[in-house]
Amino acid sequence: MTVREKLTRLRGRIALLGLVGGLLFLVGLVAGTADPEKLAFAIAGSVVLLVAAFELAFGLRCPRCDARIGPAMSWPPARWLGRSKIAECPSCHIDLDSEARG
């Protein structure tokens, strides 16, 4: 498994967590209109969504130098502007397509 595959798998899990948080937030808002006690679901969903966003920004780290690589891998406008995916860690320049250790 390459470093890129490992980081992409972790990024996918974090994105799934954010999706669950967003859905929980929406369900809590809709259910909270009928019963104000169900607004707790919206609050819990927003907390989960924020945790996922922070984890995506600060949790994805280079396996060699431990630098934050999440913003470089997850910045959507880079894809919209036609830029290709990053090839190496911006900090230590390890090739992301090399085999991961451990």
8 versus 102: which is more confidently predicted?
Answer: 8
CA dist 25 and 50 (Å) reads 11
Q: What pLDDT is recorded for position 84?
A: 52
pTM: 0.78
Residue with tokens 């431990």: 66
The CA–CA distances, whole Å, from 67 to 43, 60, 71, 78 equal 32, 8, 11, 20
Q: Which tokens in the block code for residue 66? A: 């431990």
Amino acid at 16: L
Q: What is the mean pLDDT of the chain?
A: 84
- Report pLDDT digits (tens) over 2-21: 888 888 888 889 989 999 99
Distances from the Cα of 55 to the Cαs of 39, 61, 74, in angstroms?
24, 10, 11
Annotated domain spans of the chain: 3-80
- Mean pLDDT in residue range 33-47: 90
